[in-house]
Structure 1
Amino acid sequence: MRMPKYQSGLSTTGLLITLLAAGFAIMCLFKMVPAYMDDRFIQEGLKSLTENVDQIDEMSDEQIRKQIGRFFVVNNVRSQSEKDIKIERKQDRTLVKMEYEVRVPIFANVDVVMTFNNVWDSKRPYDCCKPDSEM
């Protein structure tokens, strides 16, 4: 077996490409993570309705929005407001929905669009934040 005389490592071009790819990934991470953190707080806000699940049918839509809005203020959720909440009352349950999308510019005219669909069902209060199709 013949050993090479010199070791060859990463070339300058290879290093530049690697650094560009890592930089792009880190930039995307820094721009997208806040949207996912806000969505996690929105899910927690919807889950906070579980505390009052017995009274949810007697609460008005405005009271439900106010309760979630207070949670948003305390947890500094700025991307969405309680006005974006849709409340659907059915015979046997109440659905509180928050469907939205967040558009984050990456560079020039390239954007990342993240779609979130959170549903709280009073019949399944602990299975929060799954869309109707997954329940």
Structure 2
Amino acid sequence: MNRNLKIGNLQPKRKQGGITLMSFVVVLAVVGFAAYIGMKLFPMYQEYYSVRTAAKSLAAEPGVGDMDPSKIQDLFFRRLYISYSENVKAENVKIERIDSGWNLKVNYEVRRPLVGNLDVVGVFDVSQDLTRRGGTD
């Protein structure tokens, strides 16, 4: 006779599967390294977005297309000063005449030490038309 007795909830025990200590350490190391890289890259890109924002706000300035290039550069660096930008220098900014006003080009490079003798390098390029009307085309 084969009888199935049901007393309570008698099921075979399952082996619990989980992350081992070694796996946890490996995951923690990968996440830590990614966070370290992010902390090195974030200020570079934050400065890049500040440069873009400064150029766009300068393009919205009324009559900017008729201004003298030195005045445009002064206004641009005043906007960058507010954002604590340290890597953009005067030699990185070029202002060229176009049909409807000026074209502001900012080309600069940021180098940060990463690990040992390895560096992370960011090369950034921003271009913005500054028209006579004060808006963007």
| TM-score in terms of structure 2 length | 0.78
Please name the residue that 1:25 is paired with: 34
Please name the residue that 2:7 is paired with: none
Please name the residue that 1:47 is paired with: 56
Name the SS of the counterpart of 2:37 in structure 1.
helix
| Correspondence for 1:102 among 110, 116, 127 | 110
Of residues 7-16 and 84-93 in structure 1, the stretch that sits farther from structure 2 once superposed is: 84-93
CA-to-partner distance for each residue in 1:48-94, whole Å, 9 max, x for gaps? 2223353423x222111100111112222122134421111134442
2:110–2:123 Cα contact (<8 Å) kept: yes
1:102–1:114 Cα contact (<8 Å) kept: yes
Q: Specify whether residues 3 and 125 from structure 1 end up closer, same or farther in structure 2 by C-alpha distance, changes over 3 A only.
A: farther
| Correspondence for 2:68 among 60, 74, 81 | 60
Cα distance in 2 for partners of 1:49, 1:39 equals: 15
Aligned residues: 125
Please name the residue that 2:98 is paired with: 90
Please name the residue that 1:81 is paired with: 89
2:87–2:108 Cα contact (<8 Å) kept: no
Matching residue's letter, 1:126: T
The CA deviation at 1:25 is: 0.6
| Correspondence for 1:12 among 21, 27, 31 | 21
Q: Specify whether residues 82 and 16 from structure 1 end up closer, same or farther in structure 2 by C-alpha distance, changes over 3 A only.
A: same
Cα distance in 1 for partners of 2:64, 2:114 equals: 44
List runs of 5+ in structure 2 lacking aligned partners: 1-10
Q: Specify whether residues 3 and 10 from structure 1 end up closer, same or farther in structure 2 by C-alpha distance, changes over 3 A only.
A: farther
Of residues 19-28 and 108-117 in structure 1, the stretch that sits farther from structure 2 once superposed is: 108-117
The CA deviation at 1:29 is: 0.9
| TM-score in terms of structure 1 length | 0.79
1:47–1:125 Cα contact (<8 Å) kept: no
Name the SS of the counterpart of 1:52 in structure 2.
coil
